[in-house]
Structure 1
Amino acid sequence: MDELLPAPKLIAYALQHIAAMYAGVVAPPLIVGAAVGLSATELTVLIGAALLTSGLATLLQTLGVWKVGSRMPFVNGISFAGVAPMLAIARTTDHGHALPVIYGSILVGGAAIFVAAPFFGKLGRFFPPVVSGTVICLIGLSLFPVAFGWVTGSDPAAKDYASVSRVLLGGTTLVVVLVLNRFLTGFLRSIAVLLGLVVGTLLAIPFGLFDASALSGTPVFAVPSPFHFGAPEFQAGAIVSMLIVMVVSMTESTADMLALGEVVEMPVTEDTIAAGLRADGAATFVASVLNGFAVSAFAQNIGLIALTRVRSRYVVAVGGVVLILLGLFPVAGAIVSIVPQPVLGGAGFALFGTVAASGIKTLARAGLGDSNNLLIVAVALGFGVLPIASPNFWVRFPEVVQTVMGSGISAGCLAAIALNLFFNHLGRRDAEAAGEVSVAEAEPTLVH
Structure 2
Amino acid sequence: MADKTPFRVIIVGAGPVGLYLGYALGLANIDYVILERKESVLVNYGSIIYLWPQTARLFDQLQLLEPVQQAAARMRNKKRTDGFTGNVLTTARFPEFMERRHGYPFLPIVRCDLLRILYNNLPDKETRIKTSSEVVAIETHSTGVQVHLKSGAVENGSIVIGADGVHSKIRSELKLLYKAAKGIDANAAPMMANFNGVIGRASNKDLRIEENVLFETRGTGTVIQCTATKKGEVHFATITPVPDPKPAARQRVTMQDVEDHAASIGHVVVCRGVTFKDLWDNTGKNTVWKLNQEEGLLTHWHHDRIALVGDAVHKSTSQNGLGLNLGLHSAASLANELQSLLQRNPSPVTSAVDQAFSRYQHTREDEVQFILNMGRGMVRDSASKTWGTWLWTRLMLPWLDIESFGYGIITSLMMIRLGLVLLYVPFIGKQGSMAWKNKPLSAP
Q: TM-score normalised by the shorter chain: which range applies?
A: under 0.3
Structure showing the higher helix proportion among its residues: 1
Structure whose residues are more often strand by fraction: 2
**Which structure's relative contact order is higher, taking Cα pairs within 8 Å and 6+ residues apart?**
1
TM-score using structure 1 length: 0.24
TM-score by length of 2: 0.24
